[in-house]
Amino acid sequence: MTPQHKAGENEAFVRRYEYDDESVIAVDLGSKAGESTVDVVGDTAIVITETSDGEHQEEFDLPGEEARAFIRNGVLTIEVEQ
């Protein structure tokens, strides 16, 4: 497991966990999570958030291309098989 990091202009908290067969990346999206969607394209996760200021997009590099991503309770979780 690596230390906690901050990412993006919104200073979201990001943690990455390494296991024998997969990596898990967890991003706290905060109160905007109900208005967010996530899509995985190749080795990049793209999060789009609709706000009153317009649409914001953030991208996260993934450690591999076989990834699953979902948002639950304000947390973006990305699971990548190794």
**What CATH number has the domain bearing residue 29?**
2.60.40.790
pLDDT band at 2 (very low <50, low <70, confident <90, very high): very low
Q: What is the pLDDT of residues 7-44, one digit of tens each?
A: 555 567 888 899 999 889 898 887 655 588 999 998 88
Buried b / exposed e across 59-79, counting CB within 10 Å, b at 16+?
ebebeeeebebebeeebbebb
Residue 31, SS3 per DSSP: helix
* Cα–Cα distance measured from residue 7 to residue 77, given in angstroms and rounded to the nearest whole number: 14
The total of structural domains in the chain comes to 1
Q: Residue 81: left (phi > 0), alpha (psi -120 to 50), or beta?
A: beta
Range of the domain at 58: 5-81
